[in-house]
Structure 1
């Protein structure tokens, strides 16, 4: 399993030892963070990994690397939160110097009108570090 960054997002890519075939783990949201988690069984064909997005609380998955099936082992509970009411987007905005900068948006879809909503802008990026898009 390879953990790598592409266009600012972490991704997980499985390289099968025998066939050298590559499979990328798909995620539901356009902007997220992921990490390889600890597995107490060192001789297993299962990978544990974490996932979080601006609309999904921290979730621990177990992936059977032979069959490709995954299951949720645990998800952070957030009282009163209904993820189906929210949407997230990832946009690329041109800065003054022409460099494309990734922007992550999250909003309640029933109240969203493009171009007519108040916006809280928060950003950070220096020394090669970027902000993860977590819940």
Structure 2
């Protein structure tokens, strides 16, 4: 089963994290990612750019309204993620407990990634997506 570990940080944690030496960050993340790779569970891992450089598309009205970041009223921002292929949610939790640079104001949200196999296979759009995944080597 695949699980996404979504790293979230409070504003205070983001500020504290910005003061950590970049080489120290890279070393800690590199060692953790190497452990995930060695264990054969890492599917993907990415960091996200500063929220101030992003935009929000709000669907509350027509047409949707686009606003620049940073996002208003946000207490925690997603900073990055890992996708792991593990046997259980408990195993995903154990990997999350070992994540580097965790501390006050940091959280990891763990969500199972659903599989295309869980959707009705006779659906036209599922068949098209399955064909695309097969053609691109993703199945």
Interval of TM-score (by shorter of Structure 1 and Structure 2): under 0.3
More strand by share: 1
Query: What is the TM-score with the length of structure 2 in the denominator?
Result: 0.21
More helix by share: 2
